[in-house]
A and B are shown apart, each in its own frame.
Chain A
Amino acid sequence: MKSYWRSLKELEDPKALRIQEAREEAKQKSLLHKTKGSSTANSRRDFLKTLGFSLAATSLVASCKRPVEKAIPYLVKPEEITPGKANYYASAYYDAGDYCSVVVKVRDGRPIKIEGNELCPISQSGTSARVQASILNLYDGARYQGPQQAATTISWSDVDAEVTKILKEIAARAGRTVLLSQTVISPSSKKIIQQFLDSYPGAEWIQYDAVSASGILVANQKSFGQRAIPDYRFEKARVVVSFAADFLGTWLSPVEYTKGYTAARKLDDGQREMLRHYQLESQLSLTGTNADVRFPVKPSEEAGIVLALYNAIAAGRGGEQFSGPQTAVDVSALADELLAARGKGIVISASNDENVQLLINGINQLLGNYGETILWDSALLTKQGLDSEMEQLNKDLLAGKVDALLVWGVNPVYDQANGAELAQAIQKLKLSVSFAERKDETAQVCQYILPEPNYLESWNDLEPKAGQYRMAQPTISRLFDSRNVQESLLAWCGSPQSYGDFIKSVWEQEHYPKQSTYSDFRLFWNYSLQKGAWEDPRSASLTYNDAWLAEAAGKLTNTKSGLEVVLYESIALGNGKYANNPWLQELPDPVAKISWDNYASVPVDYAEENGLQNESVIKVNGMELPVFIQPGQAPDTIAVALGYGRSHAGKVGDGVGKNLYPWVGEANGGRQFYLEKATIEVVPDAIYELALSQTHHSMEGRPIVREANLDEYLLKANAGNEIRQEHLKHSVTLYEEMDFNGHHWGMAIDLNSCTGCGNCAISCQAENNVQVIGKEQVRNRRIMHWIRIDRYFSGDPANPEVSHQPVMCQHCDNAPCENVCPVAATPHSAEGLNQMAYNRCVGTKYCINNCPYRVRRFNWFQYVNNDRFDYNANNDLGRMVLNPDVTVRSRGVVEKCSMCVQRIQEKKQEAKVAGRMLHDGEIKTACQQSCPGDAIVFGDLNNPQSRVSKLFRNERNYHLLEELHTLPSVGYLTKIRNKA
């Protein structure tokens, strides 16, 4: 049997680690253990204090009267609102290249949850952690509350008068006005921008993405004559080769790709074929952890490998071969496999070097993947920014060649390498306007701050892929005095109009005539608004032009010297725009399981050679960074996440981690996200504490994740799961078995489909009012997430295999926690749920100690309304996100996954009122609804036809620690790899 290890320490000496952990945990859990140096002795004084407190509390309770509550009805009740019932509105999220079609749950006029929109063929009901957390951005205390000029409030009409005057002045003397935005995918906005540019000669528009797809765009311009990103269809692929593209985590359209990727790897309906995934990368990315075969390589080596692969495939297909940098990596097997799966492969690279991308295009062309797995019918439009344009603007700003800068949704002062100089240049401008919704570094130096509303407060239309239109609609009235950028631009063009009306007229003139289903525009509009989507299918096949290949190959370089630092977007924070979101800050990184910091991932060998431990400190090019020893990190590389180290993000995000954007370089006209020849020195004896949850929740080395390879699985369906038969033989009990007369809720999790992206954790947090506890408490192993994703390494520490496993309360029918509760606060329900009655709980924590799955959480503190935990739950605005259907837990009680019992109750109520039976799949838990991998299935185990029952009968199904006879209601399907 394979041995799994969670951290390097455990690999070395598992027993010692466990003893140490147990001790540490005991220490951390003791209330007396506060901070270092504080007295731990209990004094007479403490006793008197407690006595006094209890006396005071008793007399308070004795004399308290219930407050008089008001019940205030609507004056005129809106037709669609029923108090106590949620409304759902289709909308769409787009920010920093992330697109997702969503459904917004609105309770009594306030949005409280984001769900995936299953009607959208792109994101298909999936979301990402960042999209889930975007609901909290709406209630962010760092949002600007109204237009300001030089930190003083100003009215919109004054803004319009003043800005128009300056803009006209600049236009009159042929000055230069630049509108700097992130990629705009809204067709209506583009029209408005055009209108603006037309009315101010000398104005120009530059799209800038902090982490761009510039290389791909330029390469495709050369290869296909179109500056666009093709449509990758992972569900049709059999072989995927990715060069450092984290397509399941952060690259281009991760939700869509995860949907396709997991669909091509599912085996639960008796499929016998599976996509095989090769990943060549330096830091262990989320995508890398899911790869069947992974090669750790240095970023500078990539070009050589791509060329070698091209040459090998060209040799197989009879194409021209080029000479260039050599590589030691043998790609012949890879090439053979790709050649064998012609038209069913996808080769991608995250490189921003157009030459590498040209070769990638060449490879895909030779393999005949275009038109099969890579389509041009509906190109992806979410990243349009060219780095060269921003580079030029940067130079022009410093040289004083710009008169006015309008900044919309981007933050160059933070994410350009020379941010400080840029800030000074912006301050000198004749006119600088920021449309920032919330505080950021660039807005801080602009004259005018004209806040735009949150996406949940405004109309918008989007075209994430050519011909696929989406609609975003307001779900709450504007919380602050904000105005859409589009409306500002229209006002400055002299044609003020509401943006909503503008969109409507665009749809009436452009989309309505193209369809024939609806004979009335109003119907068409309502239909599109309700669905959130309208498709205008396109078909396109572009001709490939290989003229640039030879030149590109010639330009490839392979420095391959020195230590390299890889800069990547983290799963939680992305490019750092929403660093003030406490949910995202506290989401542990899927691979390192660290929250509240960025850190230097160093390879195992390097750490051993230099005597580094986790939390040691190293100086990289003069910047001190905490060390995390990352198995799988390529030799001679270090990886650090971008998006941290914000200085003007708000009280949550400020000063968390270090800003690494100054290290982003430039190569061949594109931003280069790695640094060559870095110097590194160890800071002796320094310790930087990381909120590491890696060794949390120990499973004590038992066969928790079961896995097999595809060939074994094809021979025997229960491959890797043989031990289950043994366990079932011994499954006898003295106790009476429970009867479940009606429902018996259960959940099946397909480990083959779980990529570990963390979406479920945030979705659960939003649904169940799970509180943020901050770095110190996470370090104390008190993280409150009801669903955690365990990550286990196995095999070679230099290049380990990784398994992700979501673990929540297993709702055991023979639950160890239930028997030990002295106050019966956690009994079993008639529907198989392990219930938790908060008001009955007295906080003995016996249940936590007796739970073999470590899924119960204790409220060590009052996390709501407590200045020590100054996150979203400490102010009225942030608390608007709370779900009114779930109790907010107070100090001293235990909580855990309830299988979204509020959703079960809601759907049961619907069925009962309608007098019909529940349908299978009608109830979806929060984690399940928006899972981009469709890894979670919830349903009634009493119904033999339900999907979950079928999955429970699957040979791959097993339960965690089944040998304990806890009879969990959660089942896992073995992970099947597809290694060669």
Chain B
Amino acid sequence: MFVLVFNLVICQITKDITKAKRMKRPTLVNPKCRLYLLASLFIFLFICSNAARVSASGESSVVDGHSLEDIRRGERFFKGLLPFNFKGESCVSCHNILSSDSLNWNPSAMAIAIKYAGRDFESFKASIEQPVGAMLSQKHAGIALEEEDLKAVKAYLDNMAMVGPQPVKPSINQLLIFLFFGMLITWALLELIFFRKIKYRIIPLIVLLASLGYQGKVINEEAIKLGRSQGYAPDQPIKFSHKIHAGDNGIDCKYCHHTAEDSKSAGIPAMNLCMNCHVIVREGSQSGKFEIAKIVDAVDNKKPVEWIRLHNLPDHVFFSHAIHVGSAKLDCQTCHGPVEEMDLMRQHADLSMGWCVNCHRETDVKFQENGYYQTFKNLHDQLDKGDLQAVKAQDIGANDCMRCHY
């Protein structure tokens, strides 16, 4: 471990020096640079302690006789740092290690790691050098790697599958900013009442009002957002694209979500329904074979895919798809947005009560078409007489509490 720490020390110092050079501060005696060095020493110590912790946990995860060395070598290889004279693209240029904001059709390092964690080296090697799918063959064409390097990559991936993905570094969040403004308020108050050091009292007053205003805004926004998740678009276990299925290929929504018309739940298609098509379609235009193979695996291993749920109403709301799709004949897009254009599914509406209620105020009921509404004789009379132009959903009690809450 000491060796490692030492290595890191060297590494850090060289990095700092290069940075310093880039900053055009050639002399180390510059007092500002000294300050900088002090800071970097502090940072480096901090990183060292972290690195020591990582290596401590890393040591226990030696896989298949691979040492930590192998794993680190594999990592560098994967990231394109080794060998130095490598001309082609590195693995990481297609296979993400960290989750990214934009959609990457290629399987992530983690997904590959999990898939090949339980398989032998030969199958791993074959998938890289002699891939079966047309797309993969094209992309992996010309890759010829040393077996030793590949083994190191496999060791790195196996380790990744066991250790799990790297934790995302926390960023300064709203709460910290909020607290900062709280401190400003405190200071301003103290200044105004006790210290009175600043000549122009307008300054602390402005600071106080601005801080209060900002805090008020944050509280208001957060309170509204509390429990809502408009725009929520988590990564799914399979890179399933609604755009390809519903948009490009024009598959009807209700082919997969076939209980939408007569049940509360629109239903997530069972794996066997996917297999109706994917028993033949084994390779996608974007993701190749990797993603579709997950469905086949799920069916073969009898382990259904665990999707991340997007549209998540609170437990005290009883929403029924059947009423809205089966009876009111609404389009799915009315609530779910342009799904046929979404590669990665996201929550379109905020699904708030105000949103529901507003729609009920504006939407006409299929009053003449649906036989059920013959019960409403009064309203039919008024319609016939012309006293009423149209019957809105709220006119038949759609905004009653117990329509949705019971």
Contacts and interface: CB of A to CB of B under 8 A. Distances in A.
B406 A913 contact: no
B400 A917 contact: no
Contacts, number: 167
Given A71-B308, A742-B376, A837-B405, A885 B371 contact: no
B99 interface: no
A32 B373 CA distance: 53
Contacts of B175: 62-63
Contact of B327 (A62, A72, A825, A913): A913
B406 A898 contact: yes
Interface stretch (A82-90, A583-591, A955-963): A82-90
B227 interface: yes
Contacts of A829: 397, 400-403
B261 A913 contact: yes
Counting contact residues on chain A (CB < 8 A from B), the size range is 35 or more
Nearest to A886: B406
A833 interface: yes
A61 B227 CA distance: 10
A887 B309 contact: no
Interface stretch (A36-44, A534-542, A548-556, A901-909): A901-909
B271 A76 contact: yes
B326 A913 contact: yes
Contacts of A85: 259, 262-264
Most buried by A among B298, B376, B396, B400: B400
A918 B375 contact: yes
A898 B307 contact: no
Contacts of A886: 406
A186 interface: no
B264 A69 contact: no
A886 B318 CA distance: 9
Most buried by A among B267, B269, B376, B406: B406
B308 A68 contact: yes
Interface string A50-71: 0000000000011100101111
B304 interface: yes
B320 interface: yes
A70 B378 contact: no
Contact of B378 (A741, A831, A905, A916): A741
B270 A73 contact: yes
B370 interface: yes
Q: Which 3 residue pairs across A and B have the least CB separation, nearest first? A: A830-B397, A84-B265, A77-B270
B322 interface: yes
Given A62-B175, A76-B270, A83-B267, A70 B327 contact: no
24 contacts: A70-B309, A72-B307, A73-B267, A74-B304, A76-B270, A77-B270, A77-B272, A82-B263, A82-B265, A83-B265, A84-B263, A741-B376, A827-B400, A836-B401, A839-B316, A887-B406, A902-B406, A909-B322, A909-B326, A911-B372, A912-B323, A913-B261, A913-B262, A917-B374
Interface string B256-288: 000101111101111111000000000000000
Contact of A918 (B262, B320, B372): B372
A836 B405 CA distance: 8
Nearest to B369: A915
Given A62-B175, A909-B320, A912-B323, A75 B372 contact: no
Interface in B297-312: 298-299, 302-309, 312
Nearest to A108: B265
Given A739-B378, A742-B376, A70 B270 contact: no
Contacts of B316: 838-839, 887
Given A73-B271, A913-B326, 8 more contacts: A68-B308, A70-B306, A71-B268, A84-B259, A739-B378, A741-B379, A909-B323, A912-B370
B55 interface: no
A872 B400 CA distance: 32
A913 B261 CA distance: 8
Interface in A830-888: 830-831, 833, 835-840, 885-888
Interface residues of B, number: 58
A942 interface: yes
B263 A70 contact: no
Nearest to B315: A887
A627 B129 CA distance: 88
A924 interface: no
A77 B371 CA distance: 32
A827 B234 contact: no
A85 B379 CA distance: 31
Contacts of B402: 829, 833, 835-837, 898, 901
B222 interface: yes
A504 interface: no
Contacts of A887: 315-316, 405-406
A651 interface: no
B406 A901 contact: yes
Interface in B227-242: 227, 229, 234
Interface in B203-222: 222
A9 interface: no
A830 B396 CA distance: 7
A77 B273 contact: yes
B200 to A, nearest CB: 34
A916 B372 contact: yes
Interface string A79-101: 00011110000000000000000
Interface centre among B222, B227, B302, B378 (most CB of A within 10 A): B378
A73 B263 contact: no
A741 B405 contact: no
A478 interface: no
A743 interface: yes
A917 B304 contact: no
Contact of B396 (A741, A833, A901): A741
A902 B403 CA distance: 9
Contacts of B265: 82-84
A63 B173 CA distance: 10
A827 B304 CA distance: 44
Contacts of A68: 234, 308-309
Contact of B318 (A830, A885, A943): A885
Contacts of A83: 259, 263, 265, 267
Interface string A885-898: 11110000000001
A20 to B, nearest CB: 37
Given A77-B273, A829-B402, A830-B400, A72 B312 contact: no
A101 B3 CA distance: 78
A73 B269 contact: yes
B327 A942 contact: no
A68 B234 CA distance: 9
Contacts of B273: 77
Contacts of B268: 71-73
Contacts of B376: 741-742
Nearest to A825: B401
A288 to B, nearest CB: 39
Nearest to A911: B372
B375 A942 contact: yes
B401 A837 contact: yes
Interface string A940-980: 10110000000000000000000000000000000000000
A905 B406 contact: yes
Interface string A204-217: 00000000000000
A941 to B, nearest CB: 12
A837 B268 CA distance: 30
B375 A742 contact: yes
Contacts of B312: 66, 69
B322 A913 contact: yes
A877 B267 CA distance: 26
A742 B397 contact: yes
B361 to A, nearest CB: 14
Contact of A70 (B261, B307, B375, B403): B307
A503 B175 CA distance: 67
Contacts of A914: 372
A480 B114 CA distance: 34
B372 A912 contact: yes
